[in-house]
Amino acid sequence: MNDSRNGLWQQKDIALSLLKSSHKLTTLNHLKSLHVYLLRTGLHHSSFAVGNFITYCASLGIMSYAAQLFDQMSEPNSFVWNTLIRGFQQNHSAKNTLYYFDQMRAHGVQPDKFTYPFVIRACSDLLEFAKGLSLHGQLFKIGVHFDIFVGTSLIEFYTGMGNMSMTKKVFEELPVKDEVTWYAMLSCYVNKFNDMEKARDLFEKIPCKDLVIWHTIILGYVKAGDLELAKWYFDRAPVKDLLMYNTILGCLAKNGELDCLLRLFHEMPFRDLVSWNTVIGGLVRDGRINEAMRFFHQMERVNLSPDDVTLASLLSACAQAGALDTGKWLHSYIDRRYNELNAVIGTALVDMYCKCGDLESAAYVFDKMPERDVVAWSAMIMGSSMNGQSRTALNFFYRMKDESERPNDATILGVLCACVHAGLVDEGRKCFYGMSQKFGLTPKLEHYGCMVDLLGRAGLLDEAYNLIQSMPYEPHTGAWGALLGACKIHGNVELAEKAIEHLIQLDLEDGGYLAIMSNIYANAGRWEDVSKVRKLMKVKGIGKSRGISSIEVNGVIHEFGVQEKRHPQAREIYDLIDEIYRRLKKAGHVASTSEVFFDVEEEEKEKALFFHSEKMAVAFGLIATDKNTIIRVVKNLRICADCHAAMKLISASFEREIIIRDRHRFHHFKNGFCSCGDYW
């Protein structure tokens, strides 16, 4: 008899010991074993034992098991009820939280200050405003509305409901406030109502500001776009953690404050992957590709492995700059570290190869991807389109549909661009007008712009103009600009005047459109109108955008502007341009000076054309690369007619393949021909 009693007490001791050691209860099987102990020892009727058991169920996310044990108790006390209610709320089961709260009251157990915070949060989760108001009334009756935890829950509830006046009222009525209460009110101003003036006033009143409070005010100004005040509070903060540093780094990167960004990064006492990614991403957005790669190698030297964000950012940089050699090196780096390509990195590689003019490698990566989403398909379609492979782009689109991948807006845009580049009017019409019927997609401004471009280039100017007039949106610069460009191709001055009138009303800051209009007038011999456009540009203080071309040689990006002499090999470049000029003259090339926007003699115009940025970059490529190397150039503007004609002759005369990516598409020059077929 004594042995039996001793055994029972031993089991009770084991059960109580387990209940006090939550870290030992890590699986459902452990809980079931403990449940057996509770049943054998009678502890399943103990409020202490069951309450702790429910706590462990909550930590494992199995509240249904906890509820079964709870329902077996004859008279659970408020501690057990509160534990169950808290468990459901912590496991995001707001409906069960409210259900058991109502059951608690129905069983005659009085809720207390430990019950209400979780029930109020459940009301907030379910957007149960009326229920929350009712609870607030109950709090007054039992006299716990001034409790700091209950009050803070009410602040969070009214904030979630968007009721600023009640939030403020509850906050001001609380006799005692702790850091959590102050934070709840500050967060209300910052995150819910975006009222940084009130947030600042409240912040100055907070007696004890911890790291969370400091970070909240700094993040508030970051979100508001006020970099100066964000930096000012950051400098004032007595203690700075990594999160605070990274927040300011992100703000500086977003605002293009690269010098401040780099200075702060070097001053940081500690850094994590987010810090490095922020700096690399900021440099990429600013076009400082060489520096971004240097930081990547520095990151490796401190034994920090890159993640998808790092690699996608660097591949994006290579895509922007047309840095194929660097992109290939990154590809080999990825192959050494990834067993298989995921969708993010695979798509970034496809995009990089497409934008570097290497469609073969892009298709290889695409076919190698184990899973392809709509983003990957769209990248391949748009990439083929940009490279003048319109039929290839359409074939990818048909293949995509065969594989039951649903297209999105970007996919259709890629298909329409392919039709534009090849003048495939019928295919373009079919795709555009089938967006809604076949795929449930509503054409956006960009789709309308593409259709206007497609119709306009094909000489269907009236149809293009009527499409603009029928748009359900206010036409944007893309649509009117496409029509203006088409009018230039086909010499339609009257329609061009309508287009430029709308472009001026849209308050454009890009003088390129006015320059096109000037050329349209000049080609029509209307010199008085040319003069008027020039005067308008002076009044508005705008001019043509500066042309910049870049070329990668041995992993380094070299940039060139028009007639620039800053490059270390400028003398050699200018000498080679003279040689190019002589060869083109010999081949019968006559410079197309109609687009030169200068009041100078014809000879000077011709000379200016030969120092366009893409010619400078190509000349450098001829000097700096081996004879069998493809010259790849990226230009920020559309290639002009003279440069296009010159590149065809250069490719034949120097026996070099030249690939130029301009603002809209690729031009692959080889043996005196261009992949665009002179249709661009």
- Is residue 464 within a helix (H) or strand (E), and if so which, with residue range? helix 461-469
Mean pLDDT, range 605-609, rounded to an integer: 59
pLDDT value of position 507: 65
Q: Quick check: 7 pLDDT over 90?
A: no
Identify the band that residue 608 occupies on the pLDDT scale cut at 50, 70 and 90. low
pLDDT value of position 5: 44
Average pLDDT, the chain: 87
pLDDT value of position 599: 46
Q: How confident is the model over 300-352, as pLDDT tens digits?
A: 899 999 999 999 999 999 998 888 999 999 999 999 988 888 999 999 999 99
Residue 407 phi/psi, 5° resolution? -70, 160
pLDDT value of position 400: 94
Percent of the chain with pLDDT over 70: 92
Percent of the chain with pLDDT over 90: 59
Kindly list the distances between the CA atom of residue 14 and the CA atoms of 3, 20, 86, in Å, as whole numbers in the listed order. Answer: 16, 10, 26
DSSP 591-634: ---TT---SS-HHHHHHHHTT-HHHHHHHHHHHHS-TTSPEEEE
Predicted model pTM: 0.74
pLDDT value of position 27: 66
Closest to 455 (Cα-Cα) out of 497, 477, 485? 485
Q: How confident is the model over 402-426, as pLDDT tens digits?
A: 999 999 999 999 999 999 999 999 9
Cα-Cα-Cα-Cα dihedral sign, residues 508, 511, 517, 518: positive
Residue 670 exposed, middle or buried by CB count within 10 Å (0-12, 13-18, 19+): middle
Mean pLDDT, range 429-438, rounded to an integer: 92
Kindly list the distances between the CA atom of residue 496 and the CA atoms of 384, 414, 538, in Å, as whole numbers in the listed order. Answer: 31, 27, 21
Q: Quick check: 616 pLDDT over 50?
A: yes
Q: How confident is the model over 18-42, as pLDDT tens digits?
A: 555 544 555 667 777 777 777 777 7
CA–CA dist 54, 66 (Å, integer):
5
Residue 229 phi/psi, 5° resolution? -70, -35
Q: How confident is the model over 157-205, as pLDDT tens digits?
A: 999 999 999 999 999 988 888 989 999 999 999 988 889 999 999 999 9
Q: How confident is the model over 134-154, as pLDDT tens digits?
A: 999 888 888 777 888 999 999
- The residue type at 248: I
Least-confidence region, from 375-384, 402-411, 597-606: 597-606
CA 558 to mean position of chain CA atoms = 27
Mean pLDDT, range 350-378, rounded to an integer: 94
Q: Quick check: 537 pLDDT over 50?
A: yes
CA 354 to mean position of chain CA atoms = 20
pLDDT value of position 514: 87
pLDDT value of position 598: 44
DSSP 524-571: TT-HHHHHHHHHHHHHHT--PPPPEEEEEETTEEEEEETT---STTHH
